[in-house]
Amino acid sequence: MANIEQIAKGAIEPGCAKVDPILVASGVTRQFGGLKAVDVAHLEIPRGKITALIGPNGAGKTTLFNLLTGFDKPNTGTWNFAGKDLAGVAPHKVARMGMVRTFQLTKALSLLTVIDNMRLGAQDNPGEKFFAAFVRPLWANKEREITERADALLTRFKLDAKRDDYAAGLSGGQRKLLEMARALMSKPELVMLDEPMAGVNPALTQSLLEHIKGLKENGTTVLFVEHDMHMVRHISDWVVVMAEGKIVAEGPPADVMKNPAVIDAYLGAHANSDLGDVEIATKEGN
């Protein structure tokens, strides 16, 4: 686990500055009707580290992902990635800059084969240009290289047996894996994973955790949303906690888990009662 001093610059508090941030967001808000789904005053993601973004259901984690990657427009706010201003930049340009995300609700391209899904993840394939598409020699080499890389990743993600099947035939967990592998095809600088392990069996989770650590070793920054605290504790260098749209805590995993603000955010006012009591209380209240 990385040394804390290498990550935060100054005091550790919600929105604190980092020694070497790759992504810096300020004043990002997103309103849905009367609900402020995201209200992030300041957030920095450390470069070359694995950062977990946690928080209860509806905290605004997915919405924040959508905003940062250009899939949704914020009401206010600016953010930059590796020094480049990203506010208002189209999603495909964000991806090309090296910031690639996956989706919580998996988006496998169902009626493409698994290997074609993977190939689509690669960048700068000349054959994806209209006129070059006619001239196979212009892209045959690149295509071969991409396919080799795709096959290696598929093996790593235990999907090689499914290589030539339609993605529609994959199980829910396998789709999650495919989406993550596909995102990695572009060799991103920052990969943002929205609940990558949801529905993946524990044995495979272990190997994927190793893979994510491997990404870090190769210099890729990882930001992931996850509800599984075991996983968060196991691989993350840094944890950011969101609740009701705001960043309520951050820090190294061991410290954050003990933070009263985090326990409060997860269990609300009922921190000391069990779920059965809560239910009875709500019924009586009505």
Partner 1 sequence: MDFGQIFNLTAGELIGVFTAAYALCALGLAMHFGFTGLLNFGQAGFAALGAYGYAFAALKLGWNMWGSFGFGMVCAAVFALILGLPTLRLRADYLAIVTIAAAQALYFFFGTEKYAAFTGGSNGLSEFGGDFYGYNPFPVGRYDLGIITLSEKEIWIRVVSWGLVAFVAVLLVILTRSPWGRTLKGIREDEDAVRSLGKNVFVYKMQSLVLGGVIGSLGGMVFVLSSQTNQASTWVSNFTFMTWTVLLLGGAATILGPIVGSAVFFMFLMFTQAFLEGLVNIGALPFLSIAQVGQIRYLLVGLFLMLLVIFRPQGFFGNKKELQFNG
Ligand X SMILES: Nc1ncnc2c1ncn2[C@@H]1O[C@H](COP(=O)(O)OP(=O)(O)OP(=O)(O)O)[C@@H](O)[C@H]1O
The least CB distance from residue 205 to ligand X, in Å, is: 18
Q: Which residues ranging from 59 to 88 are in contact with ligand X (CB under 6 A)?
A: 59-63
Q: Which of Mg ion, ligand X, partner 1, none lies near 174, with the C-beta cut-off 5 to 8 A by kind?
A: none
The least CB distance from residue 28 to Mg ion, in Å, is: 16
Euclidean distance between CA atoms 47 and 23, whole angstroms: 8
Q: Which residues ranging from 99 to 118 are in contact with Mg ion (CB under 5 A)?
A: 104
Determine if 95 is a binding residue for partner 1 (CB under 8 A): yes
Determine phi and psi for 110, rounding to 5 degrees: -55, -45
Determine if 62 is a binding residue for Mg ion (CB under 5 A): yes
- Identify the three-state secondary structure at position 192: strand
Number of residues that bind partner 1 (CB under 8 A): 42
Q: Which residues ranging from 9 to 38 are in contact with partner 1 (CB under 8 A)?
A: none
Q: Which amino acid is at 12?
A: I
Determine if 283 is a binding residue for partner 1 (CB under 8 A): no
For residue 192, what are the contacts with CB-CB under 8 A and spacing of at least 6? 65, 68, 69, 99, 100, 101, 102, 223, 224
Residue 208: in which H helix or E strand, if any?
helix 202-217
Determine if 51 is a binding residue for ligand X (CB under 6 A): no
Determine if 58 is a binding residue for Mg ion (CB under 5 A): no
- With respect to partner 1, which residue has the nearer C-beta, 190 or 262? 190
**Beta strand 35-46 pairing with 190-194:** unpaired
- Whether the Cβ atoms of residue 281 and residue 274 lie closer than 8 Å to each other: no
Residue 260: in which H helix or E strand, if any?
helix 260-267
Determine if 144 is a binding residue for partner 1 (CB under 8 A): no
* Chain residues in the site for partner 1 (CB under 8 A): 69, 71, 90-93, 95-96, 100-103, 107-112, 116-117, 119-121, 123, 125, 127-130, 132-134, 136, 139, 143, 166, 168, 179, 182-183, 185-186
